[in-house]
Structure 1
Amino acid sequence: MAVQIYSPFNNFNFSNSKCFLTGQQLSSTEEKIQVFPQWLMSRYGLQDKPFKLLDESIATYKDLKLPCAAAVNEEFLEPLESEIAEAFAKGYEGVKALDELKLFQWVARLMYGILFNELQSGIRMQHAQGEEFSISQSLLHKFSHLHLMLQSINLPVVFEEFTPYSLFLFKVDNKEEEFGYRDEINTQTFALRVADFGLVMCLQDNASNQRYQREVYDKIKDETLHPIQFEEFSGRVFYSNYLFNRLPEYEVMPVGEEIFIEALPLRGFNSKPLFEEWVVKTYGQVVENFWKPWGFLLFEIIKDPNQPMSFLFNADGEFIKAKSIELPR
């Protein structure tokens, strides 16, 4: 019998009575898991810290939950969490040694968990106003494909000769207890800076940002970064993923007991470049936000539009060693 793909966006069912991953009926609406795993919340004391949703409402990290069948959690999600937690405990070297697909699945599960809570919040708010919940077709397209790829956790999914994400991993000289987290749900961009590492991931770009940022990444990937350097590179990736102007399309082919996902060519019949034009002022606004802990303002960052302020490279394009940067970590 062919394996069954669950598609919650077909009928927009985001109730707490169905498992988020498989769609199976739950025995209780209390059958849930945490979006941010307990080991991560305990390690960084996140449980009661505020988490701002897109509708401006405030939850706490521990409030964010996903309906999940106990058997699905036990068989598929807990082993993944254990592997990720063990890698994180070893720091940069442990994360570097991880199977990239496992890291992608973990990040996708976390991002989808936040999205699920955002959708529930939006549905409640619009229903309270007597309106039907609506979402743009482009976001529906992205979110449904995110959920499809997330099912590589519990189904025999094969990504046919393509990588669905871009991943950037660095060693970073962080403060011991610091938890640096950032996401952009609409573009599906994720950054995490903890322990002695930082990672940035674009979840559904078919490695396009990896190629776009290759020249910069190749210059710095083997260096230990100051946190402000990591935030600068994160800003570059968040901005470039915003400029990415394609909605990737996929061919999904269940064959026997496996599901093959093939990426269709990104260029298709579109003659436009894959990325919109890089605008220095807009990039400066992004970096200003990422550099808030250090207080740099937009006018300082883009004082010279041809060479915006950078802690990664000097005027000659050479990498700036983290130890030479005289700023607080």
Structure 2
Amino acid sequence: MHTTLYNPFTDFRFDNNSCFLSGQPLQSVDEHIQVFPHWLMRKFDLEDKPFKLLDESMRTYKQLQLPCATEVAERIAELDRQVEQAFDSGYHAVKELESVLLFQWVAKMVYGVVFNEIQAGIRQQMLSGEAMNFSQVLAHKFKNLHLMLQSLIRPMQFDGAIPFSVVVVPVDNPENTFGYRDEINTLVYSLRMNDFGLIVCLQDNGTNNVYHGEYLEKITGKVLHPIQFEELCARYFYSAYLFSRLPEYTVLTTPDMVYVEPMPLASMSMRPMFDQWQVKTFGQVLENFWKPWGYSLFEIIKNPERPMSFLLDANGDFIPANAISLERE
């Protein structure tokens, strides 16, 4: 492996003629991979299910693809095999996976969705004849995500704070559960399947795990009910939205290694690292995550001083999963 980094955002190169990760020219249109791994799509029968892009256009899961050089595809296939084996074994095997490996697996899917979104935007721009209006903040985030994803094919070392947060918890899921969410604006992801749940904040330098430290401490060693995991997800998705920093990284490239180190998240304006938590807004997020159980915003924030929670009781203690009753009074 060599250490030359590729940045597609320099000249906004998102065609199908060069590898999405390495930038090297491709020899044929057959050099591509799926955004979502074959084994995941087969397991949950996702291939022909609809996937809506931000411009409201529809794809199927199997139509989401990435132009990819053969040697890069082989490295990604190796990663997929490791993850598939762990996921099939269950929570304990997933918990043993290195956090960098889980980050890479999730980042490839999230960036894959981003790549397809950008391609759709470019097509729309060409049809309309208007200039492409792309957020510089998002371009900055996606460039850094792409940089770190190159750890799959470049020798890369993360110094200082790890650039991401990873949470793996045991969940008592019904059989054949597949709960997937991502939010590309804030780069947060969740997955619930088999006997576990996974949450990854892809570019927060570990701050969301610190922010939710009390909850993580109280659920340690506990098996969660699905509604409890979705509540934890809602907290992470909302705090990722409240995160007020745009992380910067120093990148040092040597002949043998790429060193990536997060820069301090301090702000000259003294603005808090997370904006103020608004109960009503969180309630709206939670209502969305709790849709399978039908709880309304009114029920969730009926007492705004103590919003509904299935994770912690009025004393702040963990509620055991087997004590949860979802029947309405």
Structure 1's consecutive aligned runs of 4 or more residues displaced over 4 angstroms after TM superposition are none
2:190 is paired with a residue whose SS is strand
CA distance in 2, matches of 1:240, 1:206: 13
- 1:30 shift after superposition: 2.8
> Could you tell me how far apart the structure 2 residues matched to 1:16 and 1:270 are?
43
Please give the residue correspondences for 1:122-201 in structure 2 after superposition, counting only pairs within 5 Å. 122-201=121-200
Q: After superposition, what is the alpha-carbon deviation per residue over 1:105-128, rounded to whole angstroms, capped at 9, x for unaligned?
A: 000011000111111111111211
Partner of 1:224: 223
The whole-number CA distance in structure 1 between the counterparts of 2:284 and 2:154 is 41
State which drifts further: 26-35 or 301-310: 26-35
Name 2:204's counterpart in structure 1. Answer: 205
Instruction: Quote the residue 1:29 is aligned against.
Output: 29
Task: Name the structure 1 match of 2:272.
Answer: 273
Conserved? CA contact 2:2–2:154, under 8 Å: no
Aligned-partner SS, 1:286: helix
1:225 match: secondary structure: coil
**Aligned residue number for residue 93 of structure 2:** 94
1:268 deviation in Å? 4.3
- How far off is 1:3 after superposition? 2.3
In structure 2, the residue matched to 1:50 is 50
Please give the alpha-carbon distance, in whole angstroms, between the structure 2 residues aligned to 1:25 and 1:133.
Answer: 24
Match of residue 234 from structure 2: 235
The residue aligned with 1:12 is 12
Q: SS state of the match for residue 36, structure 1?
A: coil
**Would the aligned equivalents of 1:169 and 1:221 in 2 still touch at CA under 8 Å?**
no
Question: Deviation string for 1:148-194 (max 9, x for gaps)?
Answer: 00001000111112201011111001111111000000000000000
1:283-322 equivalent positions in 2, closer than 5 A: 283-322=282-321
Counterpart-to-counterpart distance in 1, 2:294 and 2:268: 44
In structure 2, C-alpha distance between the alignment counterparts of 1:221 and 1:60, rounded to whole Å: 37
Match of 1:113 in 2: 112
Deviates more, 1:176-185 or 1:1-10: 1-10
| Identical columns (%) | 54
**1:2–1:255: 8 Å Cα contact kept in structure 2?**
no
User: What residue in structure 2 maps to residue 65 of structure 1?
Assistant: 65
- What SS class does the counterpart of residue 170 from structure 1 fall into? strand
The number of equivalent residue pairs is 327
Q: Distance in 2 between matches of 1:223 and 1:263?
A: 32
User: What is the TM-score normalised by the length of structure 2?
Assistant: 0.97
Q: 1:40 maps to what in 2?
A: 40
Where 2:10 maps in the other structure, the secondary structure is helix
Shift of 1:269: 2.4
CA deviation vs aligned residue, 1:229-253 (integer Å, no higher than 9, x gap): 0000100000001000000011111
Q: Which secondary structure state, in structure 1, belongs to the residue aligned with residue 125 of structure 2?
A: helix
* Aligned Cα root-mean-square deviation (Å): 1.3
Distance 1:217 1:128 in 2: 48
Deviations 1:6-33 (A, max 9, x none): 0001100000111011000001123110
* Unmatched runs of 5 consecutive residues or more in structure 1: none
Gaps of 5+ in 2: none
